[in-house]
Amino acid sequence: MAKILIVDDEEHIRFLYSEELADEGYEVATADSGFQLLERIEKEKPDLVVLDIKMVDYNGLDLLQDIRNKYYDLPVILCTAYDTFKEDMKSIAADFYVIKSFDLTELKNKIKMALETKLPGE
Amino acid sequence: MPEVHLEENPQNITSAQMVVAIPSYREAELIAYPTTQAAQGLKRYFGDKQGVIINCDNNSDDGTKEAFFAAETEDVPQIYISTPPGVRGKGNNFQNLFRKVVELGAEAVVVVDADLKSITPQWIKHLGEPLFNDFGYVAPLYVRHKYDGTITNSIAYPLTRALYGRRVRQPIGGDFGFSGELARIYLASPTWTEAVSQFGIDIWMTTLAMNNNIPICQAFMGRPKIHKPKDPGSELGPMFSQVVGTIFDLMVQSAGYWMRVKWSKPTSIYGFGLGEVEMPPPVKVSQDKLAENFRMGMGTYREAWRTILTEPIFRKVEEVANLPAEQFDFPTQTWAKLLFDYAGAYNRKVMDPQQLLDSLIPLYFGKTLSYVRKTERMSVQQAEDFIENECMVFEETKPYLVDHWVA
């Protein structure tokens, strides 16, 4: 089963996402900040990253750039409480974005789509 | 394919690491500006590379060549190459460029339009730098007015994204970068057509980069593209059928590729830190003209539409045509299926290809009218979200294309 890395500085979100995604059969790892995120990705080798945009010490959009520069095709789903982030063009390097909610249907659908995405020759 | 008719290479340049190319036809009035900006970009950001600016022209008789050579280039060498007299076409200029790039052994090529008024030296940096960092193709990313680039918004972007699985927002942007290696792939490609030798060239290059799995990035330009925007209701010309015909030709040639693509992926983005984003100037659209062109098409092309479209989509188009002006709406899923029907009909050669493409134009006007009405009160960003949602509809509807491709 696919491995998902959840990067969020809110503990209850990490807990909720971990529980629900584990119930879906995913292997889940978590990170509570963007600190050394690339090293963490290198170590965990996730199939997909769920990334909070607004963390206390890190801007998720900058982290997205770092991830995309090193891992061209690693799926990243942005999570946010506000959709104003779309005004920043950096956001289009994400596979999808979801508005944070306690109903994770949308997030689960996007995870499924991102993991299903297939290009010949990869 | 036409050969180079004329080459002027006053500095006798025989090799270069980086080329900035400016394709043109009768651009004497405007070409000096992008030439000077290109030279500044090469000097400022690629000073350690051997650079050259090439004007690829269609033998213009208005003094384009003289204006190009007269532009201030801070000693950056210039080369002028031209197609033979009477041979027009942007793609023919590119064919000459590909040959020259290979001959010079260049590693990186940046192309900018000759009528650009908003280009800065940073454009050269942003389109060129990724080519020295493992990317093979760089597409531009600029803020455009919601009514500028309607062929891109309604056809080229959603179709290429759904077909080839890469989200390149401006696949026919006109300004881009590509590697010397990709120039060789272009030169060797057997997919060249008459439409590619004209305005089909941009979508051809982007599509070949995608289906050759070349690493693609999009470079943020910071400033909007300011050139000569056109009212989509009154100025379309043969560009439409050259672009759409090329998309359909490539679909026929690469069906084995796009049928295996599921959903789509983003690309890397390059070139931030340019400060505040400048908003594009407004583009005027005549809704009356769009409506008139669409409704006239119903009279002219009704039988062609009946032949090309599946029965439910033909009925839906009739329904749309009969809507009162204040309720006019061309549903996105109908538009996606309609384009897929057209592509399938093109593949199956149900009629003369030019007639088929001509019959699509009024439908495109109808779709554009619907887009203009729906986004009338939207900001540029909201219109972008709208287009992104339309792209998702195309991706979700793709199985319909696979089902209708051959039957």
* pLDDT tens-place string over residues B351-388: 999 999 999 999 999 999 999 999 999 988 889 999 99
Same domain, B161 and B14: yes
In this structure, the answer to whether residues B86 and B212 fall within a common structural domain is: yes
CATH of the domain at B68: 3.90.550.10
Q: What's the distance, Cα to Cα, between the start and end of chain B in Å?
A: 34
Q: What is residue B235's predicted lDDT score, i.e. its pLDDT?
A: 55
Largest separation between any pair of C-alpha atoms in chain A: 40
Buried b (16+ CB within 10 A) or exposed e, B267-291: bbbbbbeeeebeebeebebeeeebb
The SS3 assignment for B219 reads strand
For residues B114 and B12, membership in a common domain is answered with yes
Cβ contacts of residue B387 below 8 Å, gap of 6+?
Answer: B153, B157, B158
Mean per-residue pLDDT of chain A: 93
Cross-chain Cβ contact A117/B165 below 8 Å? yes
Nearest to A89 among B220, B262, B268 (CB): B220
Q: Are A93 and B241 in contact (CB under 8 A)?
A: no
The bridge status of strand B78-82 relative to strand B108-111 is unpaired
Cβ–Cβ below 8 Å for B141 and A89: yes
Judging contacts by C-beta atoms under 8 Å, the chain B residues touching residue A117 are 165, 262-265
B261 contacts on A by Cβ (under 8 Å) = 118-120
Q: How far is A96 from chain B (nearest CA, A)?
A: 9
Domain for residue B130, yes or no? yes
In a domain, B282, yes or no: no
Distance CA B11, CA B27 (A): 23
pTM score, two decimals? 0.94
A17-73 residue pLDDT tens:
999 999 999 999 999 999 999 999 999 999 999 999 988 888 999 999 999 989 999
> Are B348 and B264 found together in one domain?
no
**Residue B140 located in a structural domain:** yes
- Order the strands of the A27-31 sheet from edge to edge: A27-31, A3-7, A48-52, A76-80, A96-99
Q: Same domain for B400 and B351?
A: yes
**B58 is a domain residue:** yes
- Domain ends where: B218, B238, B270? B270
Task: Give the per-residue pLDDT at B303.
Answer: 97
Which residues, in sequence order, are bridge partners of residue A28?
A4
Whether A117 and B266 lie within 8 Å, measured CB to CB: no
Residues from chain A that touch B166, judged by Cβ atoms under 8 A, are 119
Distance from CA of A23 to the nearest CA of B (A): 25
B226 with B341, same domain: the answer is no
Contact B252, B149 (CB under 8 A): no
The one-letter amino acid code at A84 reads: T
Residues B72 and B177 in one domain: yes
Judge whether B89 lies within some domain: yes
Instruction: Tell whether the model's pLDDT for residue A87 goes beyond 90.
Output: no
Q: How many domains does chain B have?
A: 2
pLDDT attached to residue A112? 97
Encoding tokens for residue A112? Answer: 């499924």
Does B250 map to a domain? yes
- B260 and B364 belong to one structural domain: no
Which fold would CATH assign to domain A3-116? Rossmann fold (3.40.50)
* DSSP-derived 3-state class of residue B108: strand
pLDDT score at B277: 65
A61 to chain B: nearest residue by CA? B269
And the tokens for B190?
A: 């057997």
Asked if residue B232 and residue B328 are part of one domain, the reply reads: no
Structural domain containing residue B62: 6-270
The answer to whether the CB of B257 falls within 8 A of the CB of B211 is yes
Q: What pLDDT is attached to residue B1?
A: 57
Q: How far is CA B164 from CA A46, A118, B25, B264, B322, in A?
A: 25, 10, 31, 8, 35
Same domain, B92 and B197: yes
| ipTM of the complex in this document | 0.93
Indicate whether B254 and B172 sit together in one domain: yes
Task: Select the residue from B207, B269, B279, B391 to test the A interface by mutation, using most A Cβ atoms within 10 A.
Answer: B269
Contact of B273 with B221, CB cutoff 8 Å: no
Distance CA B321, CA B360 (A): 14
Give the type of residue at B6: L
| Interface residues from chain A to B (CB-CB < 8 Å) | 65, 68-69, 72-73, 75, 86-87, 89-90, 92-95, 113-114, 116-122
Give me the mean pLDDT over the A73-92 stretch. 86
Helix segments in B198-286, DSSP class H: 201-211, 239-253, 255-258
- When scoring B265, B382, B387, B395 by the number of chain A Cβ atoms within 10 A, the one with the most, hence best to mutate, is B265
CB contact under 8 A, B261 and A120: yes
Model confidence at A89, in pLDDT bands (50, 70, 90)? confident
Q: Are residues B104 and B207 in the same domain?
A: yes
Nearest chain A Cα distance for residue B269, angstroms: 6
Below-70 pLDDT ranges, chain B = 1-4, 228-235, 273-277
- B325 is a domain residue: yes
